[in-house]
Chains A and B, each alone.
Chain A
Amino acid sequence: MDIINQVEQLLEQGKVDIFIGYKELDGHVIPHGFTKENLDELKDLKTGETRYSLEKMATHLAKKDKDLKIGIIARECNKRALNCLYTWNQLNPENMEIINVNCCPSRIKIHADCSYLEPKKSGKFKKEHGIEFNNDPEELMEKYDNNERFSRWMYEFNKCIKCYGCRNICPVCFCSDCSLEDPDLVETGDLPPDVPIFHLVRASHMAGRCIDCGLCEDACPAEIPLRLLYREINQIVSDVFDYQPGQNMEKSPFTVIGDKVTLEPKPMDTLL
């Protein structure tokens, strides 16, 4: 059964009050909320490479009406984000209806819906002075010493124009008080922001939360390899706590207050 019929049934049977999918408007594929009242709009429903954070939009709707039944189109990354939002009580799984779409191409399904199928390209200057998007972390550690890696990351962070796009687009960023807007942590009105603190504050908050969707990297006007950074942070979470954010409905280890510290603090001065 094709996806349009599936959505139509969900709406007609009243299983969902609103369905968030994509539609094409003047050549742009944009998100849209389909409802029972406007069933004829369903003919414009599209699936494709376009990726927006539909689950974040669902949280906006749930904030307005907590009992609203919401249906969404979901890829693997959307589903991980949903799991994360469920465990952090931002969405109620009972009110959600998911229609899966294909993520990566395979022999069985050639069709794929992901803007990430083509790897991001790094320019010549970035290769010489910064961190490439698709760097292998182990290779990076072998190739450059501490100082070299530090200066390369600082080159990337210094480009930041402090647009807050990485936070705004992030499906799992929902705090009403954001540390990045705290004047005690980040000086307001300063450009570039306090580096590397600005980025490391965000990176540490992504621990146990980042579901590796890559939307932040897509939205970054300064092309900072954020995905690589957050992946490495979550590698630590995975090694220490054996926890992968978004994999299932298990709560993040950071929601539990333990009685002993097992992590060794590693001061920054070994780098400087």
Chain B
Amino acid sequence: MNYKFVPSVCSYCGTGCGVLFEVIDGKINSTLPLKSHPVNKGKLCIKGWNLHEYINSFMRLKTPLIKKDGRFQKATWDETISHTAKNFTKIKDQFGPDSIGVLVSAKISNEENYLAQKFTRAVIGTNNVDHCARL
């Protein structure tokens, strides 16, 4: 049996509480507050305590979905990316870049967030980018 604890940072809000994931045989079993973390000092809110739940949630999307004929249908990544690019270009050409806004997420990594803002500013050409943790 492989049993370890992985320190991480809570992905729910901008506070940045330290958490410990209890991992049994490669699967996250529970979340604990990290006692030695300077931000939360061994305390968490209810969202932090349940941080492990969305990772293995059955409701989590595993494939991209495209809305066709009024309902979401499974699609491949290639299909989805070209669909998104086509529609973004269409909106940008018709209404200008400021008609698009990007809201990035605490549930993706710092680097992915950086890429998202770069994409928004350099590719789309708007400053309409914000983060869910800046509520």
Stretch of A17-25, A91-99, A124-132, A237-245 on the interface side:
A17-25
Asked whether A35 lies within 8 Å of B46 as measured between CB atoms, the reply is: no
- Tell me which residues across on chain B come within 8 A of A64, comparing CB atoms: 1, 24-25
Contact of B36 with A by CB under 8 A: yes
Residue from B1, B2, B34, B43 within 8 A of A165 (CB atoms): B43
Asked whether B1 lies within 8 Å of A60 as measured between CB atoms, the reply is: no
Docked CA distance A164–B44 (Å): 9
- Tell me which residues across on chain B come within 8 A of A27, comparing CB atoms: 36
With contacts A60-B29, A60-B30, A164-B49 taken as known, whether A32 is within 8 angstroms of B43 at the C-beta atoms is no
- Tell me which residues across on chain A come within 8 A of B97, comparing CB atoms: none
- Tell me which residues across on chain B come within 8 A of A60, comparing CB atoms: 22, 24, 29-30
With contacts A28-B36, A219-B33 taken as known, whether A17 is within 8 angstroms of B1 at the C-beta atoms is yes
Expressed in whole angstroms, the minimum distance between the Cβ of A96 and any Cβ of chain B is: 15
What are 6 sample pairs from A and B whose C-beta atoms fall under 8 A apart? A17-B1, A18-B3, A60-B24, A64-B25, A164-B46, A221-B43
B residues bordering A, Cβ < 8 Å?
1-5, 7, 18, 20, 22, 24-25, 29-30, 32-37, 40, 42-46, 48-49
| CB-based closest 10 A-B pairs | A33-B3, A221-B43, A163-B46, A28-B36, A30-B5, A163-B45, A31-B5, A168-B49, A218-B42, A18-B1
